[in-house]
Amino acid sequence: MPQERVTVIVPAFHASGTIERTVRSIFGQPQVRPRVIVVVDDDEGKTEAVLSELADPRVEVVTNPGNLGAQKSRNRGLAMVESEYVMFLDSDDFVMGDLLHGLTLALADGADIAFGPWLFYDEGRNQASRRKPAYDNAAELLDRWLVRRQWTPPCAVMWRTEFLRRIGGWDEKVRRNQDGEVVCRAALAGARLAHSPQGCGVYVQHDSPLRISGNRSTFGDLVELAEALLKQPTEALPEPERQKILGDYFYWLADSAFRRGDREQGREAVKRGAELGGELRLNSKFPRLGAAVLGLETYRGVTSWMRGAND
305: in domain: yes
pLDDT at residue 288 above 70? no
Tell me the average pLDDT across 289-309: 63
pLDDT tens digit sequence for 151-203: 999 999 999 999 999 999 999 999 899 999 999 999 999 999 999 999 999 99
Q: Does residue 307 carry a pLDDT above 70?
A: no
Predicted confidence at residue 217, as pLDDT, reads: 63
Quick check: is 134 in a domain?
yes
The domain total for the chain is 2
Same structural domain, 186 and 295: no
Identify the pLDDT of residue 304: 61
Instruction: Identify whether 270 is part of a domain.
Output: yes
Domain co-membership, 153 together with 26: yes
Residue finishing a domain among 206, 236, 252: 206
Domain identity same for 189 and 76: yes
Would 1 be classed as within a structural domain? no
CA distance 154 to 160: 14
What's the pTM value of the predicted model, to 2 decimals?
0.90
| 3-class DSSP assignment, residue 118 | strand
Same domain membership, residue 221 and residue 166: no
Residue 249: inside a domain: yes
Burial 215-232 (b: 16+ CB within 10 A, else e): eeeebebbbbbbeebbee
The answer to the question of residue 122 being in a domain is: yes
Residues 223 and 182 reside in one and the same domain: no
Same-domain status, 151 and 290: no
> Can you give the CATH number for the domain in which 85 is found?
3.90.550.10
The predicted-structure confidence for 107-153, as pLDDT tens digits, reads as follows 999 999 999 999 999 888 888 889 998 999 999 999 999 999 999 99
Question: Which of 178, 94, 194, 200 is closest to 141 using CA atoms?
Answer: 194
Q: Are 180 and 246 in contact (CB under 8 A)?
A: no
Q: Are residues 141 and 72 in the same domain?
A: yes
Residue 237 is part of which domain span?
214-310
Give the amino acid at 172: E
Query: Is 76 inside a domain boundary?
Result: yes
**Closest C-alpha to 291, from 261, 264, 259:** 259
Amino acid identity, position 196 = S
Asked which of 151, 173, 206 is the last residue of a domain, the reply is 206
Among 188, 206, 224, which residue terminates a domain?
Answer: 206
CA angle at 164 for the pair 161 and 167, rounded to the nearest 5°: 150
| pLDDT higher than 50, residue 310 | no
φ and ψ at residue 183, rounded to 5 degrees: -70, -45
- How far apart are alpha carbons 273 and 3 in whole angstroms? 48
Shared domain for 200 and 235, answered yes or no, is no
- Residue 114 near residue 195 (C-beta atoms within 8 A): yes
Task: Write down the pLDDT at residue 213.
Answer: 47
Q: Are residues 222 and 163 in the same domain?
A: no
pLDDT digits (tens, 9 = 90+) for 13-34: 999 999 999 999 999 999 999 9
265 shares a domain with 127: no
Asked if residue 194 is part of any domain, the answer here is: yes
Q: Are residues 161 and 124 in the same domain?
A: yes
For residue 161, give every residue at least 6 positions away whose Cβ sits within 8 Å of its Cβ, in sequence order, or none. Answer: 7, 78, 81, 83, 84, 85, 86
Calpha distance 311→306 (Å, rounded): 9
- Same domain? For 247 and 200 the reply is no
Give every CB contact of residue 217 below 8 A, 6+ residues apart in sequence.
none
